[in-house]
Amino acid sequence: LPNTQGSVDFPTVEFEYGDADSRGAELAELYSYTEEPELSTNRRCFEEEFSRGRQWSELDTAQQRAQVLRLLEGLEVVSRERRLRAARAILYLAQGVFGDCESEGDVLHWSRHNSFLLYQLGTFSAFLELLSMEIDNSQACSSALRKPAISLADSTELRVLLSVMYLLVENIRVELETDPPEWKSCRETFRTELSFPMRSDEPFALLLFTMVTKFCSGHAPHFPMKKVLLLLWKVLLFTLGGFEALQMMKVRRREELGLPPLPEDSIQVMRSMRAASPPTCSIELAEQQQKRGHRSRRPLMKQDSLDIYNERDPFKNDETGVDEEEGDEVDGGIEGELDLMERDALLPTIPAQRPPIERVSFPKGLPWAPKVRQKDIEHFLEASRNKFIGFTLGQDTETLIGLPRPIHESVKTLKQGEEEVQETPCEVLYRAMLYNLPQYMIALLKILLAAAPTSKAKTDSINILADVLPEEMPITVLQSMKLGIDVNRHKEIIVKSISALLLLLLKHFKLNHIYQLEYVSQHLVFANCIPLILKFFNQNIMSYITAKNSISVLDYPHCTVHELPELTAESLEAGDNNQFCWRNLFSCINLLRILNKLTKWKHSRTMMLVVFKSAPILKRALKVKQAMMQLYVLKLLKIQTKYLGRQWRKSNMKTMSAIYQKVRHRMNDDWAYGNDIDARPWDFQAEECTLRASIEAFNSRRYDKPQDSEFAPVDNCLQSVLGQRLELPEDFHYSYELWLEREVFSQPIRWEELLRYQ
């Protein structure tokens, strides 16, 4: 609501960040509103196959298993139409036999129960074979390529198969306290099957990555990308693990290395940073003080929550009403953008005998424990020895007297020596993705660009709406409004899934091996991921966070057990009553975290933030009063402050103060002064080239092993062949002249054949 100063005061967002939204919301996002009629089609196919003597819930386990096995037999028939009917009947089971249910809770219960039952009887493996066949269906691909407009009907079989597989993965992935013991073993078996495939050398996620690249290449424009990306995200979340699993892996890894436990859990620290709601209106407080006879020496103005940490210039004219942050030409005049403190406060001059209107609780210390790098150790020792001893010892880091405990831990970790490569799900996935990883990253970013709200439709852009557009386009205003909401919702879900799966890949690869993270990061940077994310945030971010692109009465499972009310233009415009859109805020935080991963300790990439003028874009994102999102924005601002100049820092003291209060600080951290020795522009190109050489050496050393096969690739590079070290017998130098005469000089040189292979 507009406050007395004339600016918009956005409310604090109560958002709990996690691996995913609630199970009901995640299942609802699988279906578009255009697919709603297919729910009754699935039910009809099941009822045609199922003897309707009793309801599904009335059957015992043996009878349910017999019915499922009979449906699975229908997947093996030659008739394509017959297979589709059997697959739809199985999909109805995975959807919770909603025709027999009376409430949404019953639908979710039976969906989960049936998912475990279906998996135990081999349904996932059967659908995996069908999916592989459908991907390679050249007839369907050629038919889609010939059509001028692709609609929902072109991906019917694929959508049914992917929906069943998604429901199995999502229902089995989620753990509940009421699960029976056999479900736990079933979950672990499923996770192992997805991570370490028995029938092939590739994990299931690689098949989905292949679908993404095939779609972006234009060879299969009918692929339902939203379902593919949702399934890919949930498979990675299931096999690799979410944020809690990552934290447990870090703890276990430190125990293996003999290091003390982690001093803090980053997610828990960030959750404790709550953005406060605005205080009581300053005019009301002023009136209360006047009634008590209090006189202030200057007008009482509403202060930003960070003003209590900034000293006001006593010579500045307070009556001008000029905000400190207005020094930025691009983004001047934004008020109330930072609300990261525990509570807002007004600091009028109050007599000592009167109690204060509002107590201010200052935080005790900074929230983060400090961290250190190997480079920090070398710089610190070099400076200290030069200062106190008068000479340096180069890169010697053996003498650690006087350094704090984190440095001892870092040095101990670096000296652990060669690690043994463990066959973890993350390692298997990276090895499978390695040779096509650049194409995978480019394809994901292409789809993300097409789904971004700031992107304009172009003729050469990919069509990501093939699985949401109906065969017959709307003819009424109400139908057009419904389709418009469905399209916007469709794009939001795509952004959510891509941002989540990219973040998972970066975090797991970093924990598995740092060069795996760097390999993915470099290809994301080369594919213009940094300007793409900045382009995403260069919009009215509050409008995106509070977007109401949903029709709750059409969401699954609500639409399956309740009668659909009459939709009107007014009800569609009103939307739901939620304060914010969970998936959009989740996507924004994920994209900010990805941007932090890409630019952290990389000065060349930090300069990209400066070149693309990210500071005003990021400052606008601070208007969202959610502590976790604001923290990652402040991190991105912190790493580039040294390049923005003294005038920018002077004009943005609120932001600088917020960075000091909320962002982790490093040893010898002089981010606020701009005199870092790494801020040399001529080193940026060399930095990326050196990193790329190290990554290529790592991949070659670990993954490019000789293959004992007649189908092994032949090395035709002259420099590479001559540069190889060959093991020669000990007595070779006694007879090498005879060998040269027999094998080289005496043999005729066929120049025409030699030139043929050039």
pLDDT tens, residue by residue, 25-68: 999 999 999 999 999 999 999 998 876 667 898 899 999 999 99
* DSSP assigned state of 274: P
Residue 453: CA count within 13 A, CB half-sphere? 20
Q: What is the pLDDT of residue 360?
A: 41
Contact 530, 598 (CB under 8 A): yes
* The dihedral sign for the CA sequence 213, 214, 217, 222: negative
Which amino acid is residue 733, in one-letter code? Answer: H
Contact 531, 612 (CB under 8 A): yes
Classified as helix, coil or strand, 2 is strand
Residue listed under structure tokens 């475990």: 116
The Cα–Cα gap between 662 and 586 comes to 20
* DSSP assigned state of 552: G
Tokens at 9, concatenated: 């005061």
Contact 279, 273 (CB under 8 A): no
Q: What is the pLDDT of residue 149?
A: 83
Q: What is the pLDDT of residue 737?
A: 83
CA 85 to chain centre: 36
pLDDT, tens digit, 9 for 90 and up, residues 295-346: 433 333 333 333 333 333 333 333 333 333 433 433 333 233 333 322 233 3
The Cα–Cα gap between 469 and 154 comes to 10
Which amino acid is residue 515, in one-letter code? Answer: Y
Backbone φ and ψ for 554, nearest 5 degrees, come out as -95, -5
The Cα–Cα gap between 570 and 551 comes to 12
Q: What is the pLDDT of residue 4?
A: 33
Name the stretches of the chain with pLDDT < 50.
Answer: 1-7, 276-362, 388-389, 677, 679
Q: What is the pLDDT of residue 177?
A: 85
Neighbours of 408 (CB within 10 A): 15
CA 528 to chain centre: 16
How far is residue 573 from each of residues 489, 565, 566, measured CA to CA in Å?
A: 14, 15, 14
Neighbours of 459 (CB within 10 A): 4
Task: Give me the chain's average pLDDT, please.
Answer: 79
Q: What is the pLDDT of residue 614?
A: 95
36 class by beta-carbon count within 10 Å (0-12 exposed, 13-18 middle, 19+ buried): middle
Residue listed under structure tokens 């194409």: 439
456 class by beta-carbon count within 10 Å (0-12 exposed, 13-18 middle, 19+ buried): exposed
The Cα–Cα gap between 640 and 627 comes to 20
